[in-house]
Amino acid sequence: MVEKMPLSTTYREPVGVVGCITPWNYPLGQVIQKIIPAMLMGNTVILKPSQHTPLSSYYLADAFEKAGFPKGVFNLVTGRGGEVGNALSSHPLVDMISFTGSTSGGITVGKNALESVKHISLELGGKSPYVILPSESHDYTEPIHLCFNSIFLNSGQTCTAFSRLLIPAGEKETIEKQLVEIAKEYTVGDPTDHAVKLGPVSSMQQFRKISEYIQKGMDEGAHLLIGGLPESPDHGYYIHPTIFTDVKNSMSIAQDEIFGPVLCVITYKDEKEALGIANDTRYGLNAGVYGPKDKAIALAKRIQAGNVYINSSPRDTAAPFGGYKESGLGREGGIYGMIEFTQQKALFDTGK
């Protein structure tokens, strides 16, 4: 990539050796988002997938070998994050670390990488708000479905999930009734059954963590609208969609990333208060606003998040993806994600 300046020429060059550390929740998609842009920009890659989901990466490595990739361009190393991940992020011959995972994990990786001043790209956690503006029709079916698809599908194990639903106080009773009714569509059970929308969560560790937060929500005084503590995990780590209402944004369930099918419903008096609640979080990854388009866009522009969805707009994969605040550094997706894997060089070439 070359850009002519008035007195110089600016080039973008590969960073070098890129260490990619990926999570378990979307094990193939998260890998592709990193390694393909990195290699397209001329880098070599060392991939460390989650120790919980390495098999898709094994198949990918086999495909690269069968495709005739030159040796050393794509490399796969598996193992625990605390061992292999730390070794990769600290290694003096690694020039860049691209990490997706929890904020706490990203901070650890970032500290290790900065010991040798590596390039760093971090895609971290979220506690994303979804703001529903008042509707004259009092029909909130579409925005509720959009919110539920985000927080309940994949059993809530999605960093961008709309986990805080902000609703107008005057519509609380109406919206709560619609929440209860629509939630019946989100069935839980055997994931091989096409009638089922939510399978089990990924592990006993996840099951226990989510259960503890559900208990914490009840202890904090939030009202349990649907769902609740799951049954024994003896026959699977199943957690039914859980909705808390009368939630205060200061509660743990409204501030911490639960990473499960748990929705916090928070009321607001006006758009100013809605904005304050939406931004009152250490995260800033994703958000959504549903309502009259002009009002929705005006509010969305003031929300501190890297991505904001307006009404039923789909995701644009060419757009940059990444967060504000403790949700990360850098961007993935489209040209923006490719540029992350480059470094700039300016040549001052106008003299004799």
How does pLDDT run across 157-193, given as a tens digit for each residue?
999 999 999 999 999 999 999 999 999 999 999 999 9
Q: Is the pLDDT of residue 2 over 90?
A: no
Q: What is the pLDDT of residue 352?
A: 64
pLDDT greater than 90 at residue 287: yes
**What is 2-124+327-347's CATH topology?**
Aldehyde Dehydrogenase; Chain A, domain 1 (3.40.605)
Written as one string, the DSSP assignment of 259-278 is -SSEEEEEEESSHHHHHHHH
Distance in angstroms (rounded) separating the CA atoms of residues 264 and 146: 15
Q: Which residues of 275-300 are buried (b: 16+ CB within 10 A; e: fewer)?
A: bebbbbbebbbbbbbbbeeeebeebb
Q: Whole-angstrom Cα distance, residue 17 to residue 15?
A: 7
Q: Give the integer Cα–Cα distance in Å for 153 and 313.
A: 18
Q: Which two tokens stand for residue 101?
A: 């995972």
- How much is the pLDDT for 5? 87
**What CA–CA distance (Å, rounded) separates 268 from 170?**
9
Mean pLDDT on 187-200: 95
* Catalytically annotated residue among 13, 115, 136, 159: 159
Opening angle at CA 287, ends 283 and 293, nearest 5: 150
Q: Could you read off the pLDDT of 206-242 as tens digits, one per residue?
A: 999 999 999 999 999 999 999 999 999 998 999 999 9
- Split at pLDDT 50, 70, 90, the class of 350 is confident
Catalytic residue among 3, 20, 115, 123: 123
pLDDT score recorded for residue 315: 93
One CATH from 3.20.19.10, 3.90.930.12, 3.40.309.10, 2.40.50.140 for 128-310 = 3.40.309.10
21 sits in which H/E element: strand 17-21
Residues of the chain within CATH 3.40.309.10 domain(s) are 128-310
For residues 127 and 303, what is the distance between their CA atoms, to the nearest angstrom?
A: 13
303 vs 271: CA distance, rounded Å: 11
159 catalytic? Reply is yes
Q: Where in the chain is the domain with CATH 3.40.605.10?
A: 2-124+327-347
- Across the range 62-83, mean pLDDT stands at 94
- Does residue 79 have a pLDDT over 70? yes
Q: Is the pLDDT of residue 81 over 90?
A: no
Express each pLDDT in 296-318 by its tens digit.
Answer: 999 999 999 999 999 999 999 99
Provide the pLDDT for residue 156: 97
Neighbours of 352 (CB within 10 A): 2
Active site residue 142: no
Q: pLDDT averaged over the chain?
A: 96
DSSP-assigned letters across all residues of 86-135: HHHHH-TT--EEEEES-HHHHHHHHHHHHTTT-EEEEE----EEEEEPP-
